[in-house]
């Protein structure tokens, strides 16, 4: 026996043919896995033999002919044209009697006669017998052919067999017959190596660098199989020719894709042509969805473990499997092709049962259950719910929703069906609030039947209210109250915030959409009876217990808004920053949008136009307007307000024109009216602004929402009256505002003082503006501080205090630039002030020194520049007085000042330390 190395097999077969006239009979067995090139080698050799004058007879074993005795031998003789008499003799010798399709091999006389016919047909020429896929040949044909070869010992005959011995249970007839004979040659074909694949690609004119770059990916996808390599290359050929020379990026993209129709079709054809048990094992593995042990596959397929092991080894040898899994996703798809739906469903059901009994993780079992369409058993519902929770935590809400949908279909218990439906609604809402619309009616029916829990009822009410269905939402909460179910503290807090949400989205009394006898107004009245301080405590409780994966999203948004409207901006911002990473990780689009909206609202109230624009734009980008329902006024107002103050007039006007119709004139929509009024005011349209601000005042007047922290409409209405030269009306509103504003609300108080100063004459005007600046320095509102500084600089100039004018004007410009108020900055720049001090080397040095401060030093210095004492700073930042003193000492040294009175004024303008 001679084992021939790869790349020389064809030359070895040619040499056998050339030497058979002298040496006589020669037999070669070509082995190797499917797709390795056995058939191609045999075909190339047969072509060479024919061109060399040999008589070539060829045939192949096939599943379709495996049960027909002598079928392969008959095809072998029919592969060449013989004389009529010879054909008749062959038909007589190889045609079995009627009813003897499983007959034995021909008799000795018949074999002698068949041998004689071959020699007559060869007529002195070399004779080549080429038999492909010997493993599929019927035993009678193979046995007869081996007997013929025994009789051709001295004849110039070359017999070449190809075989892929997959299962050890099938005897290796050819190998057993000739292995000890000197005229026998074993040619073992192996897949291409990395160098072989690279060389194969170079021969396709891809170039040296491209071939070296792509070879590892092609090898990984095909296992080095020449067949699969060829079809995969065909799929990529167009991309290869379209790329620019040296375009590495396009090569990387092809490297990542490596997919196409030719490859899938080729794999599917091979799996169906090879042994059926290989197809069964491949399908079982594809259904399981991950590498599996032979024991698991054997139980799934109800097969012997040894057979499965050998099938896995065979598939790995073809290159379709690598490390127990498909080398290419197209191979998995090809394995499942051709299965009818009923069979595939049954296979998925069996795999789910098998994985569950083996204790597989819920997600693996759930994947099979989803593919099977669910199994109506209790354990399957539990598995699907657990898998949904796991998918949600892993940031795949879409998959979680799919699991819950199947769980709902498979569940037979009505209460559990209601629980699953409620969970499904919450998961769908995470990515698209409008997606829950179809579930609201079934949830309402479950509530009517008494099957919906209190928490799911609260969630249902918020979803209805989000869509503007405030009356239905109020009825839901009314039924919760009627049932009298007890709630823990967290449940009571969620219920209170849900009522507050309804209060925010219910249409105003007196508008077209309002019905003063509706349940929503009864809920509003109940909410009014609850104290605001209790609501703030509820908000803090809900936020402290919040986990996005199982929280009620609208309730949490309500909690954040309560903090923002209570002027607890730092707390609202901190919770947004705390919950943001979790929302991003979970791919919870609605959460990301809601948090961005709250951050935009906080930024507006801090006068940080850049952040306000960024957050509000993101809120409307990740979740378009039609998904915002009754809450659309919040993100839209933030973006209109920011773009207006930043001088982007065209963009703000476009937002106003393209805003959805005012179908729901609820309190949230007043935020948009307020922002639109600011746009009109800044664009010299005071009458239009007046109308919007008066609408805000009329609708909010006499309600608990009329306080300045919800919508500061009085100051803006007063400013509109002043633009219309009606100082009396404006001043009356401002005086009323001062009597209403809380002493701690320095933002509204400072703004009121700034606008009221315009009604006074000098020097009272300058004095009030200095007071406004003093108040706003501690408010954290950069924009209002910049406006107050700008007005104050002009007032100082009018009073002839030029030094104060230059200093305050510079401060105002720095603040305007800091918060992104470009129109204000250029107004100051063109007001006739001196050269911008920021352009001097001395100030550049100060800015450089300021950058040297650590975060902790900057926080302490900012509060010190605002006039806070060391003890106040320590209480604000939760550090010791000693630590405050140490940070200030280092800050003085870095900035080159001797005390807090020498700190740059810009430090005191950054707002709160947390911001």
Residues 201 and 214 sit within 8 Å (Cβ to Cβ)? yes
Q: How far apart are CA 810 and CA 828, in angstroms?
A: 9
Residues 58 and 75 sit within 8 Å (Cβ to Cβ)? no
Residues 165 and 172 sit within 8 Å (Cβ to Cβ)? yes
For 192-260, where are the E strands, in sequence order?
none
Burial of 597 (0-12, 13-18, 19+ CB in 10 A): buried
The per-residue pLDDT for 509 is 61
The per-residue pLDDT for 97 is 56
**What residue ranges do the domains of the chain occupy?**
4-93+105-187, 192-258, 578-663, 848-909
Q: Helices (DSSP H) in 243-396: which residue ranges?
A: 248-257, 261-273, 276-288, 294-301, 305-318, 329-336, 341-357, 362-372, 378-393
Within 8 A by CB and 6+ apart from 542, the residues are: 490, 493, 494, 497, 551, 555, 556, 559
Which has more confidence, 93 or 17? 17
The end-to-end CA distance of the chain, in Å, is 84
Scored b (16 or more CB within 10 A) or e, 726-744 reads eeeebbebbeebeeebeee
pLDDT score of 88 more than 90:
no
Q: How far apart are CA 594 and CA 590, in angstroms?
A: 6
Per cent of the chain over pLDDT 90 is 35
Q: How far apart are CA 386 and CA 356, in angstroms?
A: 13
The per-residue pLDDT for 605 is 92
Pairing of strands 321-322, 184-188: unpaired
Q: How far apart are CA 158 and CA 180, in angstroms?
A: 17
Nearest to residue 638, comparing CAs of 627, 652, 622? 652
Domains 4-93+105-187 and 848-909 share a fold: no
Q: What mean pLDDT is predicted for residues 92-104? A: 62
Q: Which CATH architecture has domain 4-93+105-187?
A: 3-Layer(aba) Sandwich (3.40)
Which has more confidence, 542 or 292? 542
Run of H or E residues at 398: helix 397-410
pLDDT band for position 231 (cuts 50, 70, 90): confident
Per cent of the chain over pLDDT 70 is 87
Run of H or E residues at 372: helix 362-372
Tokens of 298: 């054997």
Q: How far apart are CA 135 and CA 32, in angstroms?
A: 12
- Summarize pLDDT for 293-305 with one digit per residue, the tens: 888 899 988 888 9
Average confidence score pLDDT of the chain = 84
Q: How far apart are CA 513 and CA 665, in angstroms?
A: 7
Q: How far apart are CA 877 and CA 871, in angstroms?
A: 10
Torsion sign over Cα 171, 173, 177, 180:
negative
Q: What mean pLDDT is predicted for residues 849-864? A: 77
Within 8 A by CB and 6+ apart from 265, the residues are: 231, 334
Category of 7 on φ-ψ map: left (φ > 0), alpha (ψ -120 to 50) or beta: left
Calculate the alpha carbon distances from 544 to 579, 640, 798 in Å.
11, 32, 53
Tokens of 813: 């410009």
Give me the residue label for tokens 């990515």. Answer: 431
Other CB atoms within 10 Å distance of the CB of residue 403: 31
Q: How far apart are CA 435 and CA 702, in angstroms?
A: 37
Backbone angles phi, psi at 856, to 5 degrees: -65, -40
Within 8 A by CB and 6+ apart from 50, the residues are: 56
Q: What mean pLDDT is predicted for residues 166-175? A: 77
pLDDT band for position 850 (cuts 50, 70, 90): low
Residues 458 and 555 sit within 8 Å (Cβ to Cβ)? yes
Q: In what order do the strands lie in the sheet with 127-132?
A: 2-4, 184-188, 26-31, 157-163, 127-132, 55-60
The per-residue pLDDT for 174 is 82
Residues 687 and 724 sit within 8 Å (Cβ to Cβ)? yes
SS3 561: helix
Other CB atoms within 10 Å distance of the CB of residue 212: 15
Give me the residue label for tokens 């054997």. Answer: 298
- Summarize pLDDT for 105-140 with one digit per residue, the tens: 788 888 898 898 888 888 889 999 999 988 888 888
pLDDT score of 374 more than 80:
no
Give me the residue label for tokens 């624009």. Answer: 613
Of the listed ranges 50-54, 349-353, 669-673, 865-869, the least confidently predicted one is 865-869
Pairing of strands 184-188, 26-31: parallel
Q: Helices (DSSP H) in 607-726: which residue ranges?
A: 609-622, 633-645, 649-658, 667-682, 686-700, 713-723
Backbone angles phi, psi at 187, to 5 degrees: -110, 115
The DSSP annotation for 598-628 comes to HHHHHHHHHT-HHHHHHHHHHHHHHS-GGGS
Within 8 A by CB and 6+ apart from 380, the residues are: 352, 356, 369, 374, 407, 410
pLDDT score of 501 more than 90:
yes
The pTM for the full model equals 0.71
- Summarize pLDDT for 234-270 with one digit per residue, the tens: 877 765 655 555 554 444 434 444 556 788 888 888 8
Give me the residue label for tokens 């939402």. Answer: 473
pLDDT band for position 870 (cuts 50, 70, 90): confident
pLDDT band for position 338 (cuts 50, 70, 90): confident
- Summarize pLDDT for 438-480 with one digit per residue, the tens: 999 999 999 999 899 999 999 999 999 998 888 999 999 988 8
Q: What mean pLDDT is predicted for residues 421-434? A: 91
Q: How far apart are CA 629 and CA 553, in angstroms?
A: 14
Residues 186 and 8 sit within 8 Å (Cβ to Cβ)? no
The per-residue pLDDT for 843 is 46
What's CA 139's distance to the chain center, in Å?
56
Peptide bond into 813 cis (omega under 30): no
pLDDT score of 4 more than 50:
no
pLDDT score of 880 more than 70:
yes
- Summarize pLDDT for 508-564 with one digit per residue, the tens: 765 544 454 455 444 454 445 458 889 999 999 999 999 888 899 999 999 999 999
Burial of 412 (0-12, 13-18, 19+ CB in 10 A): exposed
pLDDT band for position 403 (cuts 50, 70, 90): very high
Q: What mean pLDDT is predicted for residues 871-897? A: 85
The per-residue pLDDT for 23 is 87
Q: Taking CA 436 as the corner, what is the angle to CA 434 and CA 438, rounded to the nearest 5 degrees?
A: 105
The per-residue pLDDT for 230 is 86
Q: How far apart are CA 637 and CA 650, in angstroms?
A: 16
Q: How far apart are CA 42 and CA 19, in angstroms?
A: 18
pLDDT score of 908 more than 80:
no
What's CA 283's distance to the chain center, in Å?
28
- Note the CATH number of domain 848-909: 1.10.10.10
Q: What mean pLDDT is predicted for residues 372-392? A: 87
Scored b (16 or more CB within 10 A) or e, 74-106 reads bbbbebeebeeebeebbeebbebeeeeeeeebb
Q: How far apart are CA 640 and CA 660, in angstroms?
A: 14
pLDDT score of 91 more than 50:
yes
Residues 700 and 711 sit within 8 Å (Cβ to Cβ)? yes
Tokens of 378: 């209790």
Run of H or E residues at 390: helix 378-393
The per-residue pLDDT for 912 is 38
């Amino acid at each position: 026996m001679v084992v021939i190395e790869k790349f020389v097999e064809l030359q070895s077969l040619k040499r056998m043919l050339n030497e058979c006239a002298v040496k006589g009979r020669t037999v070669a067995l070509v082995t190797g896995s499917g797709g390795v090139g056995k058939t191609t080698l045999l075909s190339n050799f047969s072509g060479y033999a024919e061109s060399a004058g040999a008589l070539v007879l060829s045939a192949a074993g096939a599943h379709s002919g495996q049960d027909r005795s002598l079928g392969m031998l008959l095809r072998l003789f029919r592969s060449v044209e013989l004389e009529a008499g010879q054909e008749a003799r062959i038909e007589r010798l190889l045609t079995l009697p009627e009813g003897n399709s499983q007959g034995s091999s021909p008799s000795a006389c018949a074999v002698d006669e068949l041998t004689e016919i071959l020699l007559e047909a060869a007529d002195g020429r070399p004779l080549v017998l080429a038999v492909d896929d010997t493993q599929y040949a019927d035993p009678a044909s193979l046995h007869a052919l081996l007997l013929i070869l025994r009789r051709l010992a001295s004849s110039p005959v070359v017999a070449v067999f190809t075989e892929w011995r997959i299962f050890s249970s099938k005897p290796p007839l050819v190998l057993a017959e000739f292995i000890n004979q000197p005229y026998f040659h074993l040619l073992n074909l192996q897949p291409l190596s990395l160098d072989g694949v690279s060389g194969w690609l170079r021969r396709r004119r891809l170039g040296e660098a491209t071939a070296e770059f792509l070879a590892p990916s092609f090898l990984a996808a095909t296992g080095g199989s020449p067949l699969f390599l060829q079809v995969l290359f065909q799929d990529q050929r167009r991309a290869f020719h379209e790329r620019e020379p040296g375009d590495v990026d396009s090569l990387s993209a092809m490297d990542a894709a490596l997919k196409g129709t030719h490859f899938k079709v080729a794999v599917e054809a091979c799996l169906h042509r090879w042994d059926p048990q290989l197809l069964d094992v491949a399908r079982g593995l594809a259904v399981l969805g991950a590498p599996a042990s032979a024991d698991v596959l054997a139980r799934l397929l109800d097969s012997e473990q040894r057979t499965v092991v050998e099938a896995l080894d065979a598939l790995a040898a073809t290159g379709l499997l690598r490390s127990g899994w498909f080398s290419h996703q197209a191979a998995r798809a090809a394995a499942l092709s051709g299965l009818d739906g009923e069979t595939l469903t049954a296979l998925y059901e069996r795999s789910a049962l098998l994985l569950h009994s083996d204790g597989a993780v819920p997600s693996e079992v759930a994947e099979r259950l989803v593919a099977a369409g669910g199994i109506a058993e209790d354990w399957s519902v539990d598995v699907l719910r657990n898998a949904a929770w796991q998918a949600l935590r892993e940031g795949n809400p879409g998959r979680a929703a799919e699991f819950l949908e199947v769980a709902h279909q498979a569940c037979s218990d009505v209460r559990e069906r209601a629980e699953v439906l409620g969970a499904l609604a919450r998961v769908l809402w995470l990515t698209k609030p409008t997606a829950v619309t179809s579930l609201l009616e079934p949830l309402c029916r479950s509530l009517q039947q008494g099957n919906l829990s209190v928490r799911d009822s609260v969630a249902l009410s918020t979803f209805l209210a989000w869509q503007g269905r405030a009356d239905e939402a109020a009825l839901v909460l009314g039924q919760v109250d009627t049932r009298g179910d007890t709630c823990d503290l967290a449940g009571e807090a969620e219920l209170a915030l849900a009522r507050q949400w309804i209060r925010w989205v219910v249409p105003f009394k007196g508008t077209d959409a309002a019905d003063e006898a509706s349940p929503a107004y009864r809920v509003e009245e109940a909410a009014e009876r609850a104290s605001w301080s209790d609501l703030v405590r509820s908000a803090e409780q809900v936020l402290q217990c919040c986990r996005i994966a199982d929280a009620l999203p609208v309730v949490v948004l309500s909690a954040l808004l309560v903090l923002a409207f209570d002027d607890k901006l730092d707390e609202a911002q901190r919770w947004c920053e705390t919950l943001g990473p979790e929302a991003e990780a979970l791919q919870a689009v609605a959460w990301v949008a809601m948090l961005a909206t709250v951050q935009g609202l906080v930024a507006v109230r801090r006068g940080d136009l850049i952040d306000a624009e960024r957050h509000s734009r993101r809120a409307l980008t990740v979740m378009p307007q039609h998904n915002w329902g009754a809450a659309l006024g919040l993100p839209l107002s933030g973006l209109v307000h920011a773009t207006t103050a930043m001088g982007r007039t065209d963009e703000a006007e476009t937002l106003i024109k393209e805003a959805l119709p005012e179908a729901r004139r609820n309190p949230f929509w007043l935020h948009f009216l307020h922002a639109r009024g600011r746009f009109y005011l800044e664009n010299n349209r005071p009458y239009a602004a007046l109308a919007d601000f008066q609408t805000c005042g009329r609708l909010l007047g006499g309600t608990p929402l009329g306080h300045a922290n919800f919508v500061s409409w009085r100051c803006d209405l007063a400013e509109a009256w002043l633009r219309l030269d009606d100082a009396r009306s404006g001043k009356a509103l401002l005086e009323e505002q001062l009597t209403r504003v809380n002493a701690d609300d320095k933002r509204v108080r400072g703004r009121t003082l700034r606008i009221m100063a315009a009604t006074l004459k000098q020097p009272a005007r300058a004095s009030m503006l200095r007071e406004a600046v003093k108040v706003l320095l501690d408010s954290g509102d950069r924009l209002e501080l910049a406006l107050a500084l700008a007005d104050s600089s002009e007032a100082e100039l009018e009073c002839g205090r030029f030094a104060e004018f230059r200093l305050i004007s510079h401060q105002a410009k720095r603040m305007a630039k800091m918060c992104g108020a470009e129109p204000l900055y250029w107004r100051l720049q063109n007001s006739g002030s001196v050269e911008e001090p920021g352009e001097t080397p001395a100030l550049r040095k100060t800015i450089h020194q300021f950058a040297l401060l650590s975060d902790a030093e900057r926080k302490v210095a900012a509060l010190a520049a605002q006039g806070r004492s060391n003890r106040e700073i320590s209480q604000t930042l939760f550090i010791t007085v000693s630590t405050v003193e140490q940070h200030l000492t280092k800050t003085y040294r870095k900035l080159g000042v001797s005390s807090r009175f020498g700190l740059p004024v810009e430090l005191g303008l950054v707002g709160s330390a947390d911001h």
